[in-house]
Amino acid sequence: MNLPLLLVNFKAYEKSTGFNAVALAKIHDEVASETGLSIAIAVSAVDIKDVVAAVKIPVFAQHCDPVDFGARTGFLPPKLLKSLGVSGTLLNHSEHQISDEVLQKSIEAAKAAGLFVIVCANTPEKGADVVKFGPDLIAVEPPELIGGDISVAKAKPDIIVKSVELIGRDKVLVGAGVKNGEDTKIALELGAQGILVASGVTNSLDPKKAILDLVLPFKK
C-alpha cells in the first residue's frame, strides 16, 4: 500500500451503499487515476463484489472475522474476502469494536490471507498497545470527534503528535472529523502517514471536489 494514504470509509450510509457505492467508488478511482495519489475505500460487505469489479483502487472490507471457510453463518472469513479481490480490512472501528483477544486473532487471520490490515484505536495508548499484534497501520480516531464538524487535526493535534511518538511515524493514520485539505496538511506535518475519512466525502454534495481537497496535500 503506497503512503501517504487516503482511506474513505463508506460505512452504511444510504449515499454510499448499493448502486450508490459503485458510483461513489468510481469517483475515487477517477481521482486516483488523475492525481497518481494513493486512495483506498472501505465498503459494506454486501457491496464488495460489485465495487471490486468496478474500480482499480484498493478496496477494503470494513470488518472481518478470525474464521476460515465453513459453517460460519454471518461471519466474514478473510480468505473469502481475499478471493473476491479485497485488498485489506479495517478492524476495531469505534462503531464495531472487538476484544483484544478477537482483534489479535483477526489480525493474524487477515494477514495470513494476504490482506492489508488497518486497526482503529480510540487513543494513542490503545494504538501503541495494538502494535504488538502486527497490523500494517493504526488509525487513531477520538470517538467524540467522529462524524463531527471539528477535526482531530484542529481540535486535538496533540493526539496526532502522541500517536506518532507512541506508535511510530510509519504506522499512523488519523481520523475523526477530517473534512478538508487543511486537516490533511496538519496531519502530515505532525507525522501521520495519511487520513481515514467518512462523512466528509460520503455526505458531500460534490464528492470529487471533497476527495481532491483531501488528497492534494499528499503532493510535495
Please say if 93 is a catalytic residue.
yes
Among candidate residues 14, 108, 141, 144, the one labeled active-site is: 141
CA 161 – CA 136 distance, rounded (Å): 19
Please say if 108 is a catalytic residue.
no
Among candidate residues 34, 93, 95, 108, the one labeled active-site is: 93
CA 49 – CA 95 distance, rounded (Å): 23
The grid coordinates of residue 51 equal 465495487
Pairing of strands 194-197, 5-9: parallel
CA 18 – CA 219 distance, rounded (Å): 32
Closest residue by Cα to residue 25 from 85, 79, 94:
85
Query: Which positions are catalytic?
Result: 93, 141
